[in-house]
Amino acid sequence: MTKSKLLEHNMVPYHEIIVGEEVEALLEKYKIKKEQLPKIRSDDPIVLEIGAVPGDIVKITRKSQTAEEALFYRLVIETIV
């Protein structure tokens, strides 16, 4: 059985790693430090798939009932226990 990609699944929103300026712009926009972002564990299946490592920021584009599309950002953290 070939393993299908999670991102291709209907229910999984689009995840991508953002870097450099985009990160700075995000932190500047909300005037926050990295640690104040919501977290996602490094052993999360989707994180493994896109190859993000702790410290990376993942941008999630979700479908929304209210707005058509909603953006979320999560900080990848080390998995402890």
Closer to another protein at the Cβ: 21 or 35? Answer: 35
Least distance CB 43 / another protein (angstroms): 14
Q: Residue 61: which of 48, 51, 46 has the closest Cα?
A: 46
Closer to another protein at the Cβ: 9 or 36? Answer: 36
Distance set, CA 7 to CA 22, 50, 69 (Å) = 22, 9, 16
d(CA 16, CA 2): 23
Least distance CB 75 / another protein (angstroms): 10
Closer to another protein at the Cβ: 5 or 41? Answer: 41
Least distance CB 2 / another protein (angstroms): 33
Per-residue DSSP letter, 8: G
**Which positions touch another protein (CB under 8 A)?**
29-30, 32, 35-38, 62, 64-67, 70-73, 77-78, 80-81
Contact 45, 11 (CB under 8 A): no
